[in-house]
Amino acid sequence: MNRWTCCLCTVGQVGPAVCGVTSLGDEVFVLRNKESDQLEVYDIVTYRLQRCVTLSNARGFADLISCEHYYCMYISISDPVVTCIHRVEVHGAATQWPVNDMPAGLSVNKLHNVLVTCTVVRKIKEFSSHGDLLREMTLPDDVSNPEHAIELTTDQFVVCHGIGCGNALHRVCLLSVDCTRVVYSHGWQCGSDAGQYNVPARLAVDDNEYVLVADMYNRRVTLLSPTLNYIRQVVSSDKLKWGPCRLHLDIQRRRLYVAENEWKEGKFTAGRVVVFSI
């Protein structure tokens, strides 16, 4: 990655909390926590709002990811009553399937399948594009409260975990192919030093498998090597207003989308998406 990171602009205005951001084709999609028009669609060059999509009977959004192969998006629903994945076509049609555990972060692997990280049960579940459960992997005991997992081209998995300072470990881990052991890790106890995290919430991986980490309450995005050695802060706290909670890396355009939310009185009250050139 380039030595310097340049802040370009924001996508849309400050509004309700952002639950996910991704791009597909010539558009950027921003998912917000609100009753209607939850999915905002912007032009990828001008960042002007093009349209809004209401997701019927959907609440408790956890994440948003796109798939270029099937030209669709996936949304994880982490409502106490309904735990499912919504598959949304770019121009409207939507289907869903149950996860049967509380879903958190989403990613798409090289086989174009959907990886769902299930925080409470410490599992990664792999589904086909239409919801067939292909496999599920239980993570090691010390990878508690996993938030997001990405499968690398080596078939290993990079995972971030740790919620709140009461949680023992706040780390990014590289797991073996079968997810049974930690190969490398970065981070330890909750903290603000360069080698620490305070809720590593989401990940992004570039085409050389360098890892970007959204460090929510330290208000920064950290860059790690493929073996999880610390390189630098890609986005420092002075470039963000609130805590980064979602990431999307557009490798082709060299754009990093950082969704940041305001935490106030025990809840996320506002959010926006900041765009960086990297």
Residues 57 and 163 in one domain: no
Residues 252 and 145 in one domain: yes
| Same structural domain, 89 and 194 | no
Reported as a single tens digit per residue, the pLDDT across 88-131 is 988 768 899 999 999 999 999 999 999 999 999 999 999 999 99
Which region among 2-11, 108-117, 251-260, 262-271 has the lowest average model confidence (pLDDT)? Answer: 2-11
CA distance 208 to 260: 26
> Does the pLDDT at position 2 exceed 70?
no
pLDDT band at residue 13 under the 50/70/90 scheme: confident
Domain-embedded: residue 129? no
**Residue 174 sits in the same domain as residue 77:** no
Q: Is the pTM of this model over 0.85?
A: yes
Specify the pLDDT at position 87.
96
**Domain range for 58:** 10-112
Structural domain includes residue 39: yes
Report the number of distinct structural domains present in the chain. Answer: 2
In a domain, 3, yes or no: no
What's the pLDDT at 9? 80
Q: Assess whether 105 and 150 both reside in one domain.
A: no
Token pair 């919801």: residue = 131
Contact of 242 with 261, CB cutoff 8 Å: yes
The percentage of residues in the chain with a pLDDT greater than 70, rounded to a whole number, is: 97
Predicted pLDDT of residue 277: 92
- Which carries the bigger pLDDT value, residue 178 or residue 163? 178
Do 234 and 225 contact (CB within 8 A), yes or no? Answer: no
Whether the pLDDT of residue 12 is over 90: the answer is: no
Do 111 and 132 meet the contact criterion of CB atoms below 8 Å apart? no
Same domain, yes or no: 107 and 144: no
The answer to whether residues 244 and 149 belong to one domain is: yes
- Chain CA centroid to CA 14, Å: 19
What's the mean pLDDT when you consider all of the chain?
93
Q: What is the pLDDT of residues 212-227, one digit of tens each?
A: 999 999 999 999 999 9
Residue type, 88: V
- Confidence at residue 189, expressed as pLDDT on a 0 to 100 scale: 92
